[in-house]
Structure 1
Amino acid sequence: MAEVKAKKVWYKRWWAITLFIIIGLAILGNLFGGNDSSSTPSSSNVQTNSQQQITTKTEEVKTYSIGDSIQAGDFTWKITKSSTATEIGEDLAGTFFGEKADGVFIILDVEVENTGKSAKYLMDSYLKLVDEQGREFSPNSAAAIYLRPQGSALMFEQVNPGITKKGKIVFDVPAGLKVANIRISSNLVSSSFYNVKLMI
């Protein structure tokens, strides 16, 4: 009777064992390799994060007085006068046309020159009032349109190089406000600004 050779079980074959080892190493390599790359920050990432933490918005705070010239971007500003009022407008046939202040109006007379090399848009929002508590007050354009003479409000317009605009900017602030700074910026998103001391 012929001798029958026993078949080797599949997992005892050398190629099967080798294949399992290769697959296992590949899986382990992906697991541990992925964790190492994600958990270990590179030196460039560390430096970038450090720079981001150190970098903060810089505020160029300079204090000026009424009548001083202030260069902010391409505009040179000069606050020439300040006054107050409780209402702006006029009575016509017994009817008041205008705006009454919720508190008191502070009216600034300003001169602005475009010292740049191209036309720039000028906005009254480049100016804000800041009181001693750090509260900011934006211009009241709705009241400014009733200023007399007509067209004296300085709100939004394009100014060509070398042209100086004169006008008034109106703020509605709480009654009794005694000390405020006029804060001038070169644009709406600038973190640099200039302070003009204003005593009311």
Structure 2
Amino acid sequence: MSAPSYAPAPPPAPAPVKRGNPWGVTAFVVGLLALLFGFIPFVGVVSFGLGPLAIIFGVIGLIIKYRPRGLAIAGTAMGAIGFIIALTFTISIYDAFGGDSASSSSDVSHEIEHVAVVKQGDSVKSGHFKFTVTEVKDGVHKVGSSGWQETADGQYIVVSVDVKNIGDESETFWGDDQKLVDADGKKYSADDDAAIALEDSNGLLEEINPGNTTKGKLIFDVPKSVTPKFILFSGSMFGDPVKVRLT
């Protein structure tokens, strides 16, 4: 008796084709860039655009059915985190360097409560420097030569000051560190453009060797109605400021 015959086994079913998710891949790449740029000061503003873009791509990647969603989820998360980091850095930088040149009077009052007051002509010490105010001019409208002049938005207050390095090594005097305060307690920064236009002002920044004295002029652009009350000198980042009464 012959052995029974059997039909051949059917071939195995083909493996399902794995379908990618291009939207998810795009979201992942853009989100990664947003996250990386977010940690870089100033350049991080790019993340303000990349972050939302990654979120949009990621949402589309999540909506599409039957596609892997891992990269879409990761891209969406990185885009959101990158945007938040960039926003945090930008706000911090703005708080440190930006804003209006005149701060609130309450902050200034709190700052100067413990600052010693001396009159114009007296020498005061702060940090690495000794300051002596020799002259104050108000109501100045223009500074500079015929080749380059700067015009005040209000009026220029020009404070002539002798700055002596009382430290043991060369130090840089920064004009931006010195503040003019009016009768209302508003605090003003020096005008860099006016300092550059005025020859020999030495009011922007100046390298001073130990024992040497530089004669400089600090120029403040303030409203015409402002009367300067005193100037706050700061000789170093960690030095206590000193206040000199101008009027």
Regarding TM over 0.5, the answer is yes
Identity %, equivalent residues: 33
Q: Any stretches of 5+ residues in structure 2 without a counterpart?
A: 1-110
**TM-score with structure 1 setting the length:** 0.62
Q: Look at both structures and tell me which one has the larger radius of gyration over its CA atoms.
A: 1
Among 161, 168, 175, the residue aligned to 2:217 = 168
Describe how 1:1-200 pairs up with structure 2 within 5 A.
60-84=114-138, 85-91=140-146, 97-147=148-198, 150-188=199-237, 192-199=240-247
Cα-Cα RMSD: 2.2
CA contact (8 A) 1:128 1:184 kept: yes
Q: Name the structure with the higher strand share.
A: 1
Deviation at 1:155, TM superposition (A): 1.6
Q: Structure 2 vs 1, CA of residues 98 and 189 (structure 1 numbering), >3 Å: closer, same or farther?
A: farther
Aligned length: 137
CA deviation string 1:146-185 (max 9, x = no partner) = 22xx223322122110111111110001112124210112
Structure 1 counterpart SS, 2:246: strand
**TM-score with structure 2 setting the length:** 0.51
Structure 2 counterpart SS, 1:122: strand
Q: Any stretches of 5+ residues in structure 1 without a counterpart?
A: 1-56
Q: Structure 2 vs 1, CA of residues 91 and 116 (structure 1 numbering), >3 Å: closer, same or farther?
A: closer
Task: Tell me how far apart the structure 2 counterparts of residues 188 and 133 of structure 1 sit (CA, whole Å).
Answer: 26
Amino acid aligned to 2:158: I
Structure with the greater relative contact order (CA < 8 A, sep ≥ 6): 1 or 2?
1
**Which aligned runs of 4 or more in structure 1 are off by greater than 6 angstroms?**
none
Q: Name the structure with the higher helix share.
A: 2
Q: Structure 2 vs 1, CA of residues 112 and 131 (structure 1 numbering), >3 Å: closer, same or farther?
A: same
